[in-house]
């Protein structure tokens, strides 16, 4: 592993740094005044911190935002983006006219940073408490995967230090000795509605950081010399992450704003802007040449091998969660840029199969699901194929991180095991009954629910190439192998497992309930009732054409059966497939979990929920 190099600061003077800080403050005021909204005072408090960073330490190729050795800069306090945009102007990559289009329709300068529209933004922020956790993923990538000396700088607000996700990040950064991660805490004392939890108690923040194994440096955040010394100290070789705790004033530099309450998220009027000019001076329009990164490429890593997915013989049984782990291990040999993360349940999700095969690219996040997803985002935005797994129910803790990952334009793959009442005696706290609804609601997401181990392996391989947020739901129980190992599957497709010209209804299922539906179809056939059976393994996108054809050919009678609450899962996905159809709406019988389950055997719980073969048979006869 390379040692962390310490860059020699670019030649600069205190006067130049003070002038740049004043320009950043004034530009933050100007663009928010023009917009009539925004957060100028939150931007002004960190201007000195960012001026020194930009001039003396940031290494970044503005022409190539994806340069693998660029430093990364995350504004975790995303509402301070007027400061970030003012830095872009000072770097010469944005014009003053661009800056003054802040928050206008069609402008890339949105109310919070968004990588969909700005190439220099790595991740969306604005939902507080997530930037440092994403920075952990980026720092892990640099130190342990690419072996590059770039640094990850994260600007934190003091209000967001109340978020538990921040302390999950503090914990994991220390555990992995991320000496390439530098957090800058803008401790300006005032939150949205008044003082923050700790105010200016820098000693309390420092004690907490040190307790987590960080180096903590306390400074006056408006003393340019102190900032320079702090950054120099932060970059001295060590095996610890560093937090610079800077005491600042919200609205610093303008007397009627500095440390004044009730200015959060308020733009100045034109007259107030003129008063601010009198104290700060008009922008000097300085253009700062930022240091270039060293032209170092990522480590070559392991040699890729041809992909050979696991194969399971017809007539045997295997759990789809095990097939996920087996497939992931195979993919790790084929894709040397694939990383896997888990939340201390890898022997249940079977991500441990990847760990055994590729231990240097497996990252244990322990019971920190918010950090799990955020680290995956950090890897993903830097080009890695990141898979993250835990019990499906526990992804609910990280739903905001998943939602923000979509806004970040990130590509990550999430896999949730132990879904539904079919997990058996562990009880409802472990049973994911909301996950399909949750993941279907994510912007441009892909939601997969395989029923067979060969199908699972093929879909995991497709996930490795799928952009955006993809989610796979796996099953705890071993189930019979349904498909030949060579069977092909597509995202957005489904499989018709049983059909005839005499079909009188269609049964639609996925995962564990597909196997119950197979039993039900066989029993119905013995009673002279032919039923079509659809394996809806791709829940989103959904195969509208096959579903509509099945309905029209089977008397417009459908049964949807799922191990999930009735809201938002397979049933709603099927109904949406008919929403814009000109054909008559089908009659749909929806079997789902409708009462709070308890402990019991899988068979007992599925019977109690009304989603086993016997209840499917009963529903089929009733709908006819």
Q: Which residues are catalytic?
A: 369
List 470's β-bridge partners, or say none. Answer: 413, 446
Opening angle at CA 261, ends 263 and 36, nearest 5: 5
Give the Cα separation of 49 and 474 in Å (integer): 47
Give the Cα separation of 13 and 156 in Å (integer): 26
Give the Cα separation of 405 and 303 in Å (integer): 30
Residues 6+ apart with CB under 8 A from 96: 89, 285
Query: CA of 580: how far to CAs of 375, 506, 537, 577, in Å?
Result: 39, 20, 22, 7
Number of H helices, E strands in the chain: 22, 19
Query: CA of 597: how far to CAs of 84, 420, 428, 617, in Å?
Result: 50, 10, 6, 22
Give the Cα separation of 167 and 314 in Å (integer): 48
Radius of gyration of the chain (CA): 27
Give the Cα separation of 552 and 530 in Å (integer): 15
H-state helical runs in 45-194: 47-56, 81-90, 96-99, 131-140, 164-175
Q: Are strands 479-480 and 317-318 parallel, antiparallel or unpaired?
A: antiparallel
Tell which phi-psi region holds residue 156, choosing left (phi > 0), alpha (psi between -120 and 50) or beta. beta
DSSP state of 213: T
Give the Cα separation of 322 and 301 in Å (integer): 27
Residues 6+ apart with CB under 8 A from 618: none
User: Do 530 and 561 contact (CB within 8 A), yes or no?
Assistant: no
H or E element in which residue 296 lies: none
User: Do 481 and 534 contact (CB within 8 A), yes or no?
Assistant: no
Give the Cα separation of 198 and 584 in Å (integer): 61
Q: Nearest Cα to 79, choosing from 124, 33, 133, 138? A: 124
H or E element in which residue 605 lies: helix 602-609
H-state helical runs in 281-430: 320-334, 346-349, 352-357, 369-381, 399-407
């Amino acid at each position: 592993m390379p040692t962390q190099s310490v860059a020699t600061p670019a030649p600069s003077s205190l006067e130049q740094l003070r002038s740049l800080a004043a320009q950043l403050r004034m530009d933050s005021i100007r663009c928010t005044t023009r917009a009539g909204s925004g957060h100028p005072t939150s931007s002004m408090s960190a201007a000195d911190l960012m001026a020194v960073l930009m001039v003396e330490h940031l290494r970044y190729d503005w022409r190539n935002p994806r340069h693998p050795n660029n430093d990364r800069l995350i504004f975790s306090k995303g509402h301070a983006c007027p400061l970030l945009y003012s830095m872009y102007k000072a770097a010469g990559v944005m014009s003053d006219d661009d800056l003054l289009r802040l928050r206008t329709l069609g402008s890339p300068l949105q109310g919070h940073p968004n990588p969909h529209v700005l190439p220099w933004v790595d991740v969306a922020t604005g939902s507080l408490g997530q930037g440092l956790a994403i920075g952990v993923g980026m720092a892990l990538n640099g130190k342990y995967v690419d072996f590059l000396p770039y640094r990850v700088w994260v600007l934190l607000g003091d209000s967001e230090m109340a978020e538990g996700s921040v302390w999950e990040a503090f914990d994991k950064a220390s555990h992995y000795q991320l000496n390439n991660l530098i957090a800058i805490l803008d401790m300006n004392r005032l939150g949205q509605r008044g003082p923050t939890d700790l105010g200016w108690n820098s000693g309390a923040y420092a004690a907490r950081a040190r307790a987590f194994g960080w180096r903590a440096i306390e400074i006056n955040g408006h003393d340019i010399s102190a900032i320079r010394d702090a950054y120099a100290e932060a970059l001295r070789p060590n095996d610890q992450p560093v937090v610079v705790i800077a005491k600042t004033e919200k609205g610093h530099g303008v007397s009627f704003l500095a440390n004044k309450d009730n200015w959060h998220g308020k733009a100045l009027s034109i007259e107030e802007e003129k008063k601010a000019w009198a104290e700060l001076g008009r922008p000097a329009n300085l253009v700062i040449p930022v240091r270039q990164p060293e032209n170092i490429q990522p480590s070559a890593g392991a040699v890729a091998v041809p992909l050979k997915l696991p194969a399971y013989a017809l007539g045997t049984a295997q759990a789809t969660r095990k097939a996920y782990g087996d497939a992931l291990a195979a993919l790790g040999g084929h894709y040397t840029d694939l990383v896997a993360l888990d939340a201390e349940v890898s022997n249940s999700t079977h991500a441990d199969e990847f760990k055994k095969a590729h231990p240097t690219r497996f990252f244990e996040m322990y019971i920190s699901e918010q950090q799990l997803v955020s680290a995956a985002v950090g890897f993903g935005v830097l080009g890695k194929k990141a898979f993250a797994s835990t019990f499906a129910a526990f992804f609910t803790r990280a739903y905001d991180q998943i939602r923000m990952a979509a806004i970040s334009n990130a590509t990550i793959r999430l896999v949730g095991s132990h879904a539904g009442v079919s997990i058996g005696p562990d009880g409802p706290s472990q049973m994911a009954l909301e996950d399909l609804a949750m993941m279907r609601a994510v912007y441009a997401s892909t939601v997969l629910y395989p029923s067979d181990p060969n199908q699972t392996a093929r879909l995991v391989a497709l996930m490795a190439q799928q952009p955006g947020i993809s989610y796979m739901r796996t099953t705890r129980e071993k189930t019979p192998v349904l498909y030949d190992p060579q069977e092909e599957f597509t995202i957005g497709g489904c499989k018709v497992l049983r059909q005839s010209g005499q079909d009188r209804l269609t049964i639609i299922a996925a995962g564990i309930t597909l196997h119950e539906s197979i039993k039900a179809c066989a029993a119905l056939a013995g009673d002279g009732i032919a039923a079509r059976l659809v394996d809806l393994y791709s829940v989103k996108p959904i195969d509208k054409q096959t579903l509509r054809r099945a309905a029209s050919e089977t008397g417009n009678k459908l049964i949807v059966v799922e191990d999930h609450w009735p809201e938002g899962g397979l049933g709603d996905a099927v109904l949406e497939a008919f929403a814009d159809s000109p054909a008559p709406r089908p009659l749909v019988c929806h079997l789902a979990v409708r009462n709070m389950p308890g402990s019991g055997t899988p068979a007992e719980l599925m019977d109690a929920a009304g989603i086993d073969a016997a209840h499917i048979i009963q529903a089929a006869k009733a709908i006819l």
